[in-house]
A and B are shown apart, each in its own frame.
Chain A
Amino acid sequence: MERDALLGLIRNRLANSVEVGALDIIVEIVDGTVRLSGEVDSRQQREAAAGAVHELAGVHSVINDLVVREMKRPDGHHQMIISAERGRR
């Protein structure tokens, strides 16, 4: 299979898989080896992405360089915005 066709197939698979559903995973192919990189939301999503690609014909091996996004704490960081408060000016 042509490299570009396979790339398209992989991106499509990653976007449509119930457990992946991501459009922003970086996909590279070198000699039939697929490398996935970028960030995902969870460990399950990371494994599911490699699994979904592995099943495709034309993929010999997958290098899973995806990392799980680290979230900062606290969740609710406050930032001030000066509002115009229409009608009160």
Chain B
Amino acid sequence: MIRVAAVGDLHFRESYRGGVRSAFRTVSREADLLLIAGDLTGIGRPEEAAVLRRELSIVSIPTVVVLGNHDYHSDCEEDIKSILRDGGIIVLDGDFHKLDIRGTSIGLAGTKGFCGGFGIRQITPFGEIGIKEFLGHVEEETEKLDRALAGLNTDIKLVILHYSPVIDTLAGESPELYPFLGCSMLSIPVDRHGTDLVVHGHAHHGVELGQTDGGVPVRNVAMQVLRRYYIVYDLVGTGG
């Protein structure tokens, strides 16, 4: 059994100093790895990331994150990535990372994802350049995820996104917001390559449980949804 702790949307501000450290005090005993599904910072300032990195140093299990829209807000996303990486945190942006936990190989693929809407209501890249560029970004994020997943042939595959790949986990959000909370395009590589679990954040007012058309479990782990600083998924194998 592999124990995956997960949360999203910490929106860490410097004034929270101490909060994350105490919330994650025992996570390393309760889980084998910690995933953080974006929106690590309040408004994407490097100072926020630097304090967060210090607070997360209490975590001794591998910590794997993607950035969220808030982490891009101050145009300092590259600084934020390097600050976190300097602290030993694994930041995925269209890449993968492999781990071995008690003889089971774990592959993690992650990217931020983007908006675009769902199913038959997904926005079509038609008309103005603005719409095409908007959709172009989610297409790019989907390709990044596809390439990252293609690099994995591990026993377990986990995907981390900030935006949602499914509509299920948005229940409770205002319907006007749905197209800005995720895009079903992101679920295509998940189903194509096979995945054991997808975690995402961003939908603060959504629900935790969902799944892709291919039956892959999707979990909205936004802290605001969990009402906890993290949840632990016990991945139990059906094989072996």
Contact = CB atoms under 8 A, between A and B. Distances in A.
Interface string B149-188: 0000111110000000000000000000000000000000
Secondary structure dominating the interface of A: loop
Interface of A: 15-22, 24, 39, 41-42, 44-45, 69-89
B70, B153, B194, B239: which has the most chain A beta carbons within 10 Å?
B239
Given A18-B13, A18-B45, A24-B205, A84 B230 contact: no
B230 A75 contact: yes
A80 B229 CA distance: 18
Contact of A19 (B15, B30, B154, B240): B15
A88 B45 contact: no
Q: Name the residue in A16, A21, A77, A79 with the highest tally of chain B Cβ atoms < 10 Å from its Cβ.
A: A21
Interface string B1-41: 01101000001011110010001101100110000000000
Nearest to A78: B232
B228 interface: yes
A72 B45 CA distance: 28
B16 A83 contact: no
Interface of B: 2-3, 5, 11, 13-16, 19, 23-24, 26-27, 30-31, 42-43, 45, 70, 73, 104, 153-157, 194, 196-197, 204-205, 217, 224, 226-240
Nearest to B154: A86
B75 to A, nearest CB: 13
12 contacts: A16-B43, A21-B70, A71-B228, A76-B31, A76-B232, A79-B231, A80-B236, A81-B233, A82-B236, A85-B156, A86-B155, A87-B155
B71 to A, nearest CB: 11
Contacts of B230: 75-76
Given A16-B43, A18-B45, A82-B238, A77 B231 contact: yes
Which of B11, B13, B45 counts the most chain A CB atoms within 10 A? B13
B195 to A, nearest CB: 9
A81 B229 contact: no
Contacts of B240: 85, 88
A79 B234 contact: yes
A71 B232 contact: no
A86 B106 CA distance: 10
